[in-house]
Amino acid sequence: MEENKGDVYGEEELEKWTESLRNNGCCRIIYCALDEWIPLSQKWVKMGELAAPSSKAFLLQAADCYSYPYRLSHTMMAFRMAANGYDWFQTEMGLFYDVNLDKSIMYDQRTTSHPTALNMAFKTKYIKQLGESIGTDIEWPKKGIDYWLFTNFSLIKGGGLKIYRIKPGTHLKWKGGVDTNGLNNISLARVNKFIEVKPPFVHSEYLIDDFIPAEVMTRLREAGKLNRERRESMKNMSLVKH
């Protein structure tokens, strides 16, 4: 789902991956073009409406995040556990990498009281029910979206959500993922967390190159290089105009 204007990825590009996706178990692929920009919160709800009735899990996956191995299997394992399974899935820790600074820090939910964390997923039925209950005059939130979903799902359930947490010492596979920063327009202030590290972020004792495949790191560093060059060019153009 993306706005049909500007530098879009496009349906034709997605079609190039159709065969590979289906060979790896993807049985239903939908590309949804939007005529105008809408908040991410509204996009999530719209995607929930498009999800198949048989869908069990809805994973929050941002385009600038690289999921850790076995995220899908861990999520489905959690939702199938116990009598009715868990309602919400997340990992407590994960690396964040700023492409412009070429620096990584660690997110650690244990340093905050905020209920949501990383690699989040929830039962699809909640996002569908939320879409059915929302009125037409809603003011869609533009930040704190994960918490907004979490609180609304709690209301829908009529009580606290049953959360499955991947803890640092249990499944070490969480180390294979990373959230990136520096190329989107949503978390512009997050760069300050890399400069002056404060909770829920902490200094990382791990090297990102030990976590992430070399080919992925090459592309991330190239993106940072190109972005720095673009910023410098725009800065010089601005100085010339003045």
Give CATH 3.90.550 domain extents, the chain. 39-241
Mean pLDDT of 138-159: 94
Count of residues making up the chain: 242
| DSSP category for residue 76 | H
Whether the per-residue pLDDT at 35 is higher than 80: the answer is yes
Q: If you classify domain 39-241 with CATH, what class do you get?
A: alpha beta
Cβ atoms of residues 79 and 85 within 8 Å: yes
Residues 6+ apart with CB under 8 A from 88: 120, 121, 122, 150, 153, 161, 162, 163, 164
Mean pLDDT of 16-37: 89
pLDDT at 6: 72
Whether the per-residue pLDDT at 241 is higher than 80: the answer is no
Strand partners, 166: 91
Mean pLDDT of 62-89: 86
CB half-sphere exposure, 26, CA atoms < 13 A? 12
User: Given the DSSP bridges, would you call strands 2-3 and 33-34 parallel, antiparallel or unpaired?
Assistant: parallel
pLDDT at 139: 92
Mean pLDDT of 15-36: 89
Residues 6+ apart with CB under 8 A from 152: 130
Mean pLDDT of the chain, nearest integer: 87
Strand partners, 62: none
Distance CA 107, CA 112 (A): 10
User: pLDDT tens-digit profile of 181-234?
Assistant: 876 655 667 788 899 999 999 998 888 888 888 998 898 899 889 888 887 887
Cβ atoms of residues 133 and 156 within 8 Å: yes
Whether the per-residue pLDDT at 45 is higher than 70: the answer is yes
Q: Please give the model's pTM, rounded to 2 decimal places.
A: 0.85
Burial of residue 216 (number of CB atoms within 10 Å: 0-12, 13-18, 19+): middle
pLDDT at 166: 87
The confidence band for 64, taking pLDDT boundaries of 50, 70 and 90, is: confident
User: pLDDT tens-digit profile of 83-136?
Assistant: 667 999 999 999 999 988 899 999 999 999 999 999 999 999 999 999 999 987
Distance CA 119, CA 167 (A): 12
pLDDT at 172: 62
